[in-house]
Structure 1
Amino acid sequence: MSDERLALALAVTIRHDGHGGVADDLAAPEGLTAWVRELAEPLRDVLDARAFTADGEALGAVRDLRAAVRALFARAVRPGPPSSADAHRLLPGDLAVERLNAAVARVPGTPRLEWPEDGAPVVRAARPAGFTDTDRLVAALARDAIGFLAGPDRERLRACPAPRCVRYFVKDHPRQEWCKPSCGNRARVARHHRRHRAES
């Protein structure tokens, strides 16, 4: 499941809308339902994603987890800047870790993230009680986030610096600067326009 990078998929449900603003793929239960169904394969061991239908509780739980994941991603990319989508309203690090741990604790036998301010993330065991489909979904996403944050991909996590982009991405090769080629094109065009204006 970690190969699918569920945590990154969750984080990028907040994205540039193509018109200078920010879009939220999880703005309503229908959006969460569609998103979970798209992830049917990586979630196959957790729940029947094709039959999943989100309600308000599921939406709230996943959005709360996403806020924690994005706050921890912002922490992971330091000293670089976080995504501009939520840089002004990030959860404090200790609250984000607490929220992530609470999410993963919704399912028995799950890991627990501990991330001291002056150290590296460490995975510990947790043993909570019963669970629902929402519990399984939230715990699976949180488990993947813990694995991601405590694993080697955290060191390659970046906030895309392209104009108007709000996505996080994993830098897969040394020369990669943006989350996708269109962001690189947009950044080059913006740089060209700035130079052209400076010369005028």
Structure 2
Amino acid sequence: MSLTLDFVSTIRAQRSGLTDQLADVAGLTAWAREHAAALDLDPAFSATEELRAEAVRLRQAVRALFARAVAPGPPSRADAADLPGFAESLALVNARALAVPRAPQLSWDGEPSLASVTAAPAEPAVRLLGALATAAVEFLAGPERELLRTCQAPRCVLYYVKEHPRQEWCSTSCGNRARAARHYREHKK
């Protein structure tokens, strides 16, 4: 899964309702440490409440752009009513991406590979937000955007990239849940 999909998927549906991995500082710290290499962060990174609030604001902006990208399909049911406007979201994502420019670097350990590194020194919090915004820009400007979908399974609120023509859900378990719900509706009498 891409960094951007992982980031917007920090809002998930559980049996008990929606859960937010970024609901507290510990959650953001754990999520950022899990993605430290992609975010150009020290694995011992620790978040602050201010950074958590900014990360949630950025996530909502990216989710608003995702909602626009899947249109005319429906946006995620998780927060469709609470998303910021399109222009505001676009401006925020672009501003965060500009705050810490990233540059491509070539490494050659047997085979050439491409890495993206921070082009200017910056504080870890600024690097985190900049890397997330840059990943969102690259995702939404890339070919995967055309394959972006909202999972329509009952209780699911995730976005996913459609990997084959017949894929309708984000996962096998969501497909099973959707088929079971359809069966129940058809046989309920």
Same fold (TM over 0.5): yes
After TM superposition, list the pairs within 5 Å mapping 1:41-56 onto structure 2: 41-43=37-39, 46-48=40-42, 50-56=43-49
* Cα distance in 1 between the residues matched to 2:15 and 2:62: 23
Q: Give 1:139's match in structure 2, choosing from 114, 127, 130.
A: 130
1:8 counterpart letter in structure 2: L
Question: Is contact 1:13–1:24 with CA below 8 Å preserved after alignment?
Answer: yes
% identical equivalent positions: 54
Whether 2:83 is the aligned partner of 1:87: answer no
Determine the structure 2 residue equivalent to 1:124.
none
* Cα distance in 1 between the residues matched to 2:60 and 2:144: 19
What's the offset of the Cα at 1:109?
5.8
Q: Give 1:13's match in structure 2, choosing from 10, 13, 32.
A: 10
* Cα distance in 1 between the residues matched to 2:89 and 2:101: 21
What's the offset of the Cα at 1:193?
0.6
Which one is further off, 130-139 or 100-109?
100-109
TM-score, normalising length: structure 2: 0.87
1:33 counterpart letter in structure 2: T
Determine the structure 1 residue equivalent to 2:109.
none
* Cα distance in 2 between the residues matched to 1:47 and 1:38: 10
Runs of 4+ in structure 1 deviating by more than 2 angstroms, as ranges, are: 40-43
What's the offset of the Cα at 1:91?
1.2
1:9 counterpart letter in structure 2: D
Whether 2:92 is the aligned partner of 1:99: answer yes
Whether 2:157 is the aligned partner of 1:191: answer no
* Cα distance in 2 between the residues matched to 1:156 and 1:108: 27
What's the offset of the Cα at 1:106?
2.0
TM-score, normalising length: structure 1: 0.82
Q: Give 1:78's match in structure 2, choosing from 68, 71, 83.
A: 71
Q: What SS does structure 2 have at the residue aligned with 1:42? A: helix
- RMSD of aligned Cα (Å): 1.7
What's the offset of the Cα at 1:180?
0.8
Determine the structure 2 residue equivalent to 1:159.
150
Determine the structure 2 residue equivalent to 1:27.
23
Question: Is contact 2:101–2:130 with CA below 8 Å preserved after alignment?
Answer: no
Consecutive unaligned residues in structure 1, runs of 5 or more: 111-128
Question: Is contact 1:104–1:140 with CA below 8 Å preserved after alignment?
Answer: yes
Q: Hey, which of these two has a bigger chunk of strand by percent?
A: 2
Question: Is contact 1:106–1:130 with CA below 8 Å preserved after alignment?
Answer: no
Cα shift readout 1:1-40 (whole Å, capped 9, x = no counterpart): xxx5111111000010233x11101000100011111113
In structure 2, the CA distance between the partners of 1:75 and 1:162, relative to structure 1 (3 Å rule), is same
